[in-house]
């Protein structure tokens, strides 16, 4: 998504909604309801509106930002990414899957972070 949007998505945290929104607009990208979206939803919509429609595929999409999938296992090589992937064909998500996070403490931390961001 970095190439499609010109943004390094994994550099944003759950508290960066205002910064991400401004950066998205600075790239000339706009989608409905973005003023009310938190970081995770902005990232998801950016993927769905900017990148996914361009994938003719079939293609595997992977290395998702860890903040958008609280139950996905964190990558061993980069904590900003998680083991989540999709198979996309002609802009349509055919398969959506992830390696499961089995650490209950980390799950709770992820859910609390997601809830805090959603409340904001």
- Alpha helices for 15-103 (secondary structure H): 17-26, 39-46
Confidence class of residue 2 from pLDDT cuts 50, 70 and 90?
low
| Residue entry with tokens 């959603």 | 118
The pLDDT of residue 117 is: 64
The terminus-to-terminus CA distance of the chain in angstroms comes to 25
Domain borders along the chain are 2-119
pLDDT tens by residue, 12-70: 888 888 999 999 999 888 888 899 888 888 988 888 888 888 888 799 988 888 888 88
| Cα dist from 12 to 8, 103, 107, whole Å | 8, 23, 19
CATH 3.30.70.20 is the classification of domain 2-119: no
**Is pLDDT above 60 for 1?**
no
Question: pLDDT of 60-112, one tens digit each?
Answer: 988 888 888 888 898 989 888 889 999 999 989 999 999 888 888 888 887 78
């Amino acid at each position: 998504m970095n190439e499609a949007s010109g943004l390094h998505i994994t550099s944003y945290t759950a508290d960066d909604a205002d910064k991400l929104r401004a950066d998205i607009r600075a790239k000339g990208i706009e989608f409905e309801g973005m003023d009310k979206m938190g970081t995770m939803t902005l990232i998801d919509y950016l993927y769905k509106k900017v990148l996914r429609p361009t994938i003719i595929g079939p293609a595997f999409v992977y290395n998702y930002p860890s903040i958008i999938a609280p139950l996905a296992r964190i990558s061993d090589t980069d904590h900003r990414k998680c083991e989540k992937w999709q198979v996309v064909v002609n802009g349509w998500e055919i398969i959506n899957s992830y390696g499961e996070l089995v650490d209950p403490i980390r799950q709770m931390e992820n859910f609390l972070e997601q809830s805090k961001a959603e409340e904001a």
